[in-house]
Structure 1
């Protein structure tokens, strides 16, 4: 009895300590993890770039090298020679051929940064052209399966980029499905990936980002103030005039938000260009990776810093427009009409668009699955058999499939365990609920807290603005190689720990995006009542708020799992040997060397990520959109 009483007393005291200090301890732990795993690696990359007796020499060398900045190199080399630069511009303009049916521009050397910006611009335009009609259909029409189609718009955050690249490789490569189909029609095979790889890259980016544009714009369209449209019509405005003057201004923040986010993602593109274009279509990301492979760390760090500065500026612009989108007053949106009715020009155009979207989105993934199950003679399982045989007989340095699959699942599970608590803590801070109530603070203190939350929310966006390659370089140069500490100690993270850290940092913002809206919708009076009855802030969080946001937690965990499974950018740098390879790394290793096994591994990766997609879709996972829907439903404690 005394022993049992003593254990009970210890448990009671431990519970009291956890209740009193648990939230503070987890918060401190989250800050420590972010400081060591995120800000320190990024800081080390910046330090590497500015190292040396002349800190700006490496930047000057990049800016004045036509390979990097193209025609702007002369401007950076001699910025005061304004007359010479204007003369060069006039010469270029004079060489423009204004044909009757076409406009032919003279060649213009873009350089590495210029090409990266150019392909991002093309990809953003393609994503808008594909995504905006989808938003129109989802917002204005009702049809069977509409909610399923809408849930598919989270695919960009579930499907690994290297797998998407594999699908387009299977569809448009020399041995791809597209060539097989044109061969049946008696047309000479065309290797589109070889003839016009940039087009394939842009299409792959549209596949990846058009659903994001659709999701953001649909949420805004469903919240248009319809009464303002009706007022404009009653005052004599035509349907087209009302759309242009009333609807478009309300949609503009969402469209710009989607465009900016797409541009950021495609400016930081890596696996798709690496797999489909390689160094021939090298973006800054691909070139940084190549410099790291060649152990040219100073050059890689310089490019990484310049790229990060550009992406941070774009992210700042994105946050401004996202704030504008959130601030707009929500309406009831237009009343949806049945999609399937009398065939007219509008429905005919929607049918053509639907066929194009089906080919664009189903074709690559279907091609990958088909190519994994066929060869020149027909149906076969030998590609999967190769994976089994490589597992049994492959050399230690070769990529083996089973460790890659197991590693992906284990790393993803560990990522969930780290990213979810981090996301909850950041959600509590950014929603202003860390104090547990209003607390009677003055206006100055309230404004200070609001600014503090804005800073924290901005910092949570850093993983979006800093690419996985840059983050991987920072981890490699710092924590993987080791950082000396006082007393002869050394801070070092290697292998699986470094990979899980990179994955958790990439995944926790998605937990925040799913938990924070629901947490903000929880009635604060419930928390205040619990606090007034003696509950600590930690007890109130776990007993009241966490159960009410359980669906957001599970959706965030599913996002974290899927992101970890598909993470390629930092993993390909940190995976030191075949024992730490993941499925995306295995796909990249096989791609271009063993086409069939690469498709088989990609199909296995598709199966794993599809399970995460089902969980996220059923729980209503959110990413960057549905802000007004979150506000309406959050006030009732419902799902976003």
Structure 2
């Protein structure tokens, strides 16, 4: 037995402690380089913004932050931000919970198609979402008679549109995993369907619903593109006010102080979401999914889900497409032909097609930057190791996820007051834009790659090592195939997010090298029917390109990567 023990022990340790024993220099670089990247392009800009907000100038108590807190306008905008986020969260939860039941617990023809349609809004650029609701609710739109254009109600509806799928895909898998026998036993004992749901099913769903609500609140509180394209009703939000103070009023002190307030809201939402998500992930391990054929008792939830998908999701997108095709010369492609021009009432400048070309080029740069940082980091985070390394992995994984929670407006403004000041020539060249977009896209790259790599059975690596394979060959033959498929998916997500990114880019884009989302918002602010129609056509084109990229990415999704990124 002794010789066997001596051979087996190193073999197991090699598999469990790969980050320490296999190519230590390479594993160290896989961690050090991403940490340095985040330190320069995320922690420094955000930290500079926070420091300027709490300590900059001013002779009043508390510096700029204390001065801004004494202004009535600040509290009004803060209240507006919280109200919109809470209303959007409530709407998404109330409509998304029945949708989760229908799309995950019930079985019927066309369910997968409805799931795909319900998920589509989340991958669309926020600028497109805002423009679609303008097309639906404008005076000349299908629902213009409601008088909702430019109101806070329109913003709330757009937020629900955007986040409906978050609730569905967070609550749905847990609901499908619940054991139906508990509710059936309650019904057998005389409980009504409503009582069985409220006393048996709902308590088990609370962790998932609360987790979804916290995530939706985070997204609603940082919905800069939606509020900006809908005209900043009610005075706008903290994000839109930061943008106005920076670009219009040139008051960086006030903008920094407001960014601190916005950052506090985001941090609280991220902490709550992470805490609740752990409970949801634990619950999802209970059992395999259980579904049943759609029955008569399911009809109210089914009808509501169809109404939401048809009236809240499909209708704005159809209205956007129809408005894009309605030009002053009649129904056709006249507005799309205008994309090769800079619009009426404006001489020179970037055309929509040029802006699309700029967006694609910048998105390509942002994608390869995020992959260059994300791939080695995902390999390090996916390795099974001892307790000490596992703790470091959790800390590093949490740090990598921070850009997903921090507002892109905060990131962009941080770039303005830190990197743009330190490297003015680089800023003027436009090179900061893809780096800012890469920071925003990096968490999605990690979210796609790490679960897929962790799904690999570690015994495969142990057997390969026992047969004499080195770390490089193990990486090529075992991790390589999964990684290659995952890279395609991660690249698609990163490219789509960068293509539609508006918050950070609106601060950093050069006047002569605008991206399509930034130009769409600018053209919407110009008077003239041609400009409005051109903006609708450009938003439709951006939606089609983004949806095409995301459809391709979904087809490339590796097994074991999970169904959700949040």
TM-score for the superposition, normalised by structure 2 = 0.87
Give the direction of change, closer, same or farther, for the CA distance of 1:190–1:321 in structure 2 (3 Å limit). Answer: closer
Residue 364 of structure 2 corresponds to residue 413 of structure 1 = yes
Matching residue within 240, 245, 257 for 1:302: 257
Other-structure match for 2:202: 248
Q: Which moved more, 1:146-155 or 1:42-51?
A: 146-155
Q: What displacement does 1:598 show? A: 0.4
Other-structure match for 1:41: 45
Q: What displacement does 1:327 show? A: 1.7
Q: Which moved more, 1:143-152 or 1:533-542?
A: 533-542
Alpha-carbon distance between aligned partners in 2 of 1:52 and 1:542, rounded to the nearest angstrom: 55
Give the direction of change, closer, same or farther, for the CA distance of 1:426–1:152 in structure 2 (3 Å limit). Answer: farther
Matching residue within 366, 369, 373 for 1:422: 373
Q: What displacement does 1:56 show? A: 2.2
What is the aligned residue count? 537
Residue 81 of structure 2 corresponds to residue 125 of structure 1 = no
TM-score for the superposition, normalised by structure 1 = 0.78
Other-structure match for 2:437: 503
Alpha-carbon distance between aligned partners in 2 of 1:284 and 1:61, rounded to the nearest angstrom: 16
Other-structure match for 2:56: 51
Alpha-carbon distance between aligned partners in 1 of 2:139 and 2:396, rounded to the nearest angstrom: 49
Matching residue within 24, 29, 39 for 2:33: 29
Larger Rg computed on CA atoms: 1
Other-structure match for 2:550: 613
Matching residue within 332, 355, 370 for 2:307: 355
Residue 171 of structure 2 corresponds to residue 166 of structure 1 = no
Unmatched 5+ residue regions in structure 1? 1-17, 70-110, 180-188, 484-489, 631-639
Alpha-carbon distance between aligned partners in 2 of 1:530 and 1:56, rounded to the nearest angstrom: 61
> In 2, are the aligned partners of 1:412 and 1:565 still within 8 Å (CA)?
yes
> In 2, are the aligned partners of 1:134 and 1:214 still within 8 Å (CA)?
yes
Other-structure match for 2:421: 481
> In 2, are the aligned partners of 1:476 and 1:573 still within 8 Å (CA)?
yes
Alpha-carbon distance between aligned partners in 1 of 2:465 and 2:269, rounded to the nearest angstrom: 42
1:629-640 aligned at under 5 Å gives the runs: none
1:194-593 aligned at under 5 Å gives the runs: 194=150, 197-230=151-184, 232=186, 237-278=191-232, 280-293=234-247, 294-328=249-283, 329-338=285-294, 344=296, 346-347=298-299, 350-375=302-327, 378-390=330-342, 395-396=347-348, 398-431=349-382, 433=383, 438=385, 441=386, 446=387, 448-482=388-422, 492-578=426-512, 580-593=513-526
Give the direction of change, closer, same or farther, for the CA distance of 1:512–1:611 in structure 2 (3 Å limit). Answer: same
- Cα displacement string for residues 210-250 of structure 1 (whole angstroms, at most 9, x for unaligned residues): 11111111111111133444555566655444332332222
Q: What displacement does 1:607 show? A: 1.5
Q: What displacement does 1:463 show? A: 1.1
Alpha-carbon distance between aligned partners in 1 of 2:37 and 2:171, rounded to the nearest angstrom: 35
> In 2, are the aligned partners of 1:116 and 1:283 still within 8 Å (CA)?
yes
Give the direction of change, closer, same or farther, for the CA distance of 1:450–1:123 in structure 2 (3 Å limit). Answer: same
Q: What displacement does 1:347 show? A: 1.9
Q: What displacement does 1:161 show? A: 0.3
Q: What displacement does 1:60 show? A: 1.7
> In 2, are the aligned partners of 1:135 and 1:215 still within 8 Å (CA)?
yes
> In 2, are the aligned partners of 1:481 and 1:492 still within 8 Å (CA)?
no
> In 1, are the aligned partners of 2:93 and 2:167 still within 8 Å (CA)?
yes
Alpha-carbon distance between aligned partners in 2 of 1:229 and 1:353, rounded to the nearest angstrom: 23
Residue 149 of structure 2 corresponds to residue 193 of structure 1 = yes
Deviating 4+ runs (over 6 angstroms): 391-394, 621-625
Q: What displacement does 1:460 show? A: 1.9
Residue 145 of structure 2 corresponds to residue 139 of structure 1 = no
**Partner SS state of residue 418, structure 2:** helix
> In 2, are the aligned partners of 1:507 and 1:560 still within 8 Å (CA)?
yes
> In 2, are the aligned partners of 1:112 and 1:283 still within 8 Å (CA)?
yes
- Cα displacement string for residues 243-272 of structure 1 (whole angstroms, at most 9, x for unaligned residues): 323322221111111100010111122111
**Partner SS state of residue 568, structure 1:** coil
Q: Which moved more, 1:380-389 or 1:251-260?
A: 380-389
Q: What displacement does 1:22 show? A: 4.2
Alpha-carbon distance between aligned partners in 2 of 1:554 and 1:474, rounded to the nearest angstrom: 31
> In 1, are the aligned partners of 2:56 and 2:63 still within 8 Å (CA)?
no
Q: What displacement does 1:352 show? A: 4.9
- Cα displacement string for residues 389-447 of structure 1 (whole angstroms, at most 9, x for unaligned residues): 43999744x2312221111111122222111233333333443x1xxx54xx5xxxx1x
> In 2, are the aligned partners of 1:510 and 1:623 still within 8 Å (CA)?
no
Other-structure match for 1:89: none
Give the direction of change, closer, same or farther, for the CA distance of 1:271–1:387 in structure 2 (3 Å limit). Answer: same
- Cα displacement string for residues 113-170 of structure 1 (whole angstroms, at most 9, x for unaligned residues): 1111011111111111221111111122212222232234443442000011111111
> In 2, are the aligned partners of 1:44 and 1:478 still within 8 Å (CA)?
yes
- Cα displacement string for residues 479-527 of structure 1 (whole angstroms, at most 9, x for unaligned residues): 12225xxxxxx89555442111111111111111112212111111122
> In 2, are the aligned partners of 1:399 and 1:589 still within 8 Å (CA)?
no
